[in-house]
Structure formats: C-alpha cells, structure tokens
Structure 1
Amino acid sequence: MPKILNIGHRGAKGHVAENTLASFAKAFELGADGIELDVHLSADGEIIVIHDHSVTRTTSQKGNVADLSLSQLNHLKIDGIHNIPTLAQTVDAIPSKLVNIELKAKQAAKPVMHLIEKYVQENSRDYRQFLVSSFDWVALKEIRESNANVPLGVLTEADLELAIGFAKSIQADTIHPYFHLLTSENTARMQSQGFGVFAWTVNEPEDLARMKSFGVDAIITDFPDRL
C-alpha cells in the first residue's frame, strides 16, 4: 500500500499555536510530510498566514486582517509569543516539502498563484511542492483558468458528489472531504477517477485507524505524531 501522507493541520496545532513558524517546525519534527495552513490578504496586499478573518481569537488585539497592514500585523503576537507569518516567510522557513495552502479569502487566489510561480521560476521549487485548496470553489477556478500547473484541492464538508463533479471540471488534483464523509467505497471511487483523497481533520486514534484502512492518500491532523 502506498504511503499515506502525514499533513500537519495548521502545523502541529495540537502541540503549538496554530499557523506559526514554530508550529510548522514542530510538525516536521513530529514526522509530518507536509503542512496545511490558511491565508488571507492584509490591507496592503501581503499574503498572511492566519485562519480567521480577524485577529481577535489568536491575539490580544481586535480587527480584521484585511483592514490591517503588514506593519500593523507584525506588531501582534499569537499567545503573546509568536509572530503572524507571511506565506513567503513560511515557505522560506520550512523544508522543501508539501505546503497545502488553504485560501480563506477569494482575493488571495491570484497573489498565492503568483507567489508559487515565483518560487518555481526563481528558487527551483517544483509545483508539486504546493497544493492550493479552498471551500471557495470560484477562487480555485480562477487559479485554474490562469495556470494549468498549480495543483488544486477541492474542500468539502457536506456534498461529496458535487465536489467530485467540480474537481473534474477544473482538473483538480485532490479532493479534501471532512473525514466523516468517507467510506472505503467512495475513497476508492475518487482515486479511480484520478484524485488524491485528503481527509481532514483526523485526530482520534480510532478515526486515524479507519482512514488508514480506507487507504486515503493523506491525513490532515493536529497531531502528526499520532500517525
């Protein structure tokens, strides 16, 4: 059986503050093959690695990411310790392994695509080291219409059949279902149609064992050490 990729959800979210350079480093320390992270755009157009639309939950301040400049965001701390990284800082800091970039804002689609193109052209990285996923399927379609080489992943938490149909329409590489949607049969069916199956977010031992038994291609988890 092919190796199931171990993908650290927002880094090693179960161990270190999410979407921080320390969390990404911890994920690789714990055996992750790649990381998943989330991005928004700052007020001045920088690609910011953060899950929420606002900074309220993860920092001591309030405000929307889209209303704050990179300079302002640089003054904030997650858990009073960690800086909020940019996507470029993150890619520069980690090994040349898989980076699954989840678009949380449609406006980030083209900037993320251009950053990936820059790394491929200037830094000798391969497109296959990146994977752009989103629940915003329009954003994925926008990337595909501009670049046929950027790997795309279709996220879904409800309608698997709709996700499969859309993935076909944009020639996506992977489908990322909420793990409760998966069975051994639909996993095999997606794979037979050429899609990698990335299950999220799987943390409990019994759920991890079930996903492994289905033969998914990747497991996205808060605890990379549990795989």
Structure 2
Amino acid sequence: MLVIAHRGASGHCPENTLSAMEYALSLGAEAIELDVHCVEGELYVFHDRRLEYKSCGQGLIDQRSQNELSQITVLGEAIPTLWQVLQLVAGRAMVNIELKGVNTLAPLIAAYPRYLSELGFSAEQLLISSFNHRYLLQLRQALPHARIGVLFSGIPLDYDTTINAIQPYSLHLDINFISLDMLKCAQQLGIKTYAYTVDYIDDMHYLQQLGVDGIFCNFPDRAMHALAEPASADIPAANWFD
C-alpha cells in the first residue's frame, strides 16, 4: 500500500511548507501530496482559500500579490511556490498536485512540460488531482499522457460517467464515504484507489484488507511502520457503504 505524505509530513511540521516536504522525504515517503493556488500567474503551495486559517496573513490568497505573499509565513516559514517544492522533491518521490484554487489549471498546463524537461520528472512521477472535475476533463484534453486523480468527497450518482470522461489514473476517496461498489469498479478497470485522510492504524488495516492501493496520511512514518506489520486476523468489518 502506497503511503502519501498529506501536505508533506504535516503531522510533524507546518503543512505544505518546504520543511514538511523535506521531513517527509527523510522519513522515506515515496509520495507527497500538496495543494496549489494561483497568485499573479504563479502556483503557490497552500491549502485554504483564506490565509487566516493557516498563516499570519489575511484575506483570499489569490487576491494577494506575490510581493505581499512573500511577507506572509506559516508558523515562521515562507509559503513556497510549486516550482520550489518540485525542485526539492525531484528524483526523490512521486508528487500529487491538487488543483485547489481558481485559475490554477492554465498555469499548471503551461508549466507541466518544464517539470519534465527541466526538473527531470517523468509523467509517472506527477499526479494531478482536483475536486473540480471540469478542470480534470480539460487537463485530460490538454495533456493526454498526464496521470490524473479524481477527488470525490462523497458517493456521486454518476461516478462511472466521470471515470469514462476523464480516464483517470486514480480515484481519491474520502474515508468517510468508502463505497465498495466504487472500489470494485475501479479495480475492474485497473484504476488505483487512494483514501484520505487516514491517520488511525485500524483504518489503515481495514483499507489494506479491502485492497485500497494507497492512503493520504499526516504521519507517514506512523503509516509505514503500521503497514509493515501484519494486521490482526480478526479485524472487524468497518461500516463501508455498499
């Protein structure tokens, strides 16, 4: 089971910062997830649309200038650009880039070839995901060979239509809405399934038994250690949806 460091090693360090990414790599994480917003055409790594929740700044992140953003910190650490994070991680782990904010698609599409040619990533080492399925459909049309992950926050009525349209590499499923039917569908189609956010060991073992391919975890060291140990044979069934 793949352990994806959620916003870096965010259980140990300020999330989505360079220190969180570096610490995740030092722990042996094979994959890192991060979120991006667009500020004056540049992609910055930050989760929330508002700066107040996680930084010393105020207001909507995409309405700040790059100069203003350079003065704002997350527990004393700068908000990095996507390019800075990819420079740090290149050759060391797979990266899942979640398109979080508005106007993130165009700069991602424009910069994607440079991630491959200048930073040395392969298409297999970059996974682009979003809850905005319209973005993902446009991304599939613009970058036919890119790996795409479809994020779901619930159990949609028409997920099969979404899968057929986007042809994703992976489905990213809320652990509170794990659907056995969706898992079976993905497995039959050869689509990876990743669950978020999974920080409890019993949940990790439940999902492993179900055949889920990976988990997003704030404590990647905890997950890697737990999954390296054999699970109890008598783990009770969880309340997954049919």
The TM-score normalised by the length of structure 1 is 0.92
The aligned counterpart of 1:11 is: 8
CA RMSD of aligned residues (A): 1.6
Deviation at 1:121, TM superposition (A): 2.7
Deviation at 1:90, TM superposition (A): 0.4
The aligned counterpart of 1:61 is: 57
What is the percent sequence identity of the aligned residues? 32
Deviation at 1:161, TM superposition (A): 5.2
| One-letter code aligned to 1:86 | T
Q: Which runs of 5+ in 1 are unaligned?
A: none
Matched, 1:167 2:163: yes
Matched, 1:128 2:118: no
Deviation at 1:183, TM superposition (A): 5.4
The aligned counterpart of 1:77 is: 73
The aligned counterpart of 1:137 is: 133
Whole-angstrom distance in 2 between the partners of 1:139 and 1:183: 24
Deviation at 1:188, TM superposition (A): 3.6
- Deviations 1:116-142 (CA, angstroms, capped at 9, x unpaired): 211213333211111111111111111
| One-letter code aligned to 2:199 | N
Matches within 5 A, 1:83-122: 83-96=78-91, 97-122=93-118
Distance 1:140 1:211, change over 3 A: same
Q: Report SS of the residue matched to 2:149.
A: strand
Aligned residues: 222
Deviation at 1:175, TM superposition (A): 0.5
Matched, 1:225 2:195: no
CA contact (8 A) 2:128 2:148 kept: yes
Whole-angstrom distance in 2 between the partners of 1:84 and 1:93: 14
Deviation at 1:177, TM superposition (A): 0.7
Deviation at 1:196, TM superposition (A): 0.6
1:38 aligned residue (30, 35, 38): 35
Distance 1:163 1:106, change over 3 A: farther
Distance 1:215 1:31, change over 3 A: farther
Q: Which has the larger radius of gyration?
A: 2
The TM-score normalised by the length of structure 2 is 0.86
The aligned counterpart of 1:201 is: 197
| One-letter code aligned to 2:83 | A
The aligned counterpart of 2:18 is: 21
Whole-angstrom distance in 2 between the partners of 1:169 and 1:223: 34
CA contact (8 A) 2:90 2:120 kept: no
Distance 1:196 1:45, change over 3 A: same
Show structure 1 runs of 4+ deviating over 3 A: 183-186
Whole-angstrom distance in 1 between the partners of 2:158 and 2:29: 30
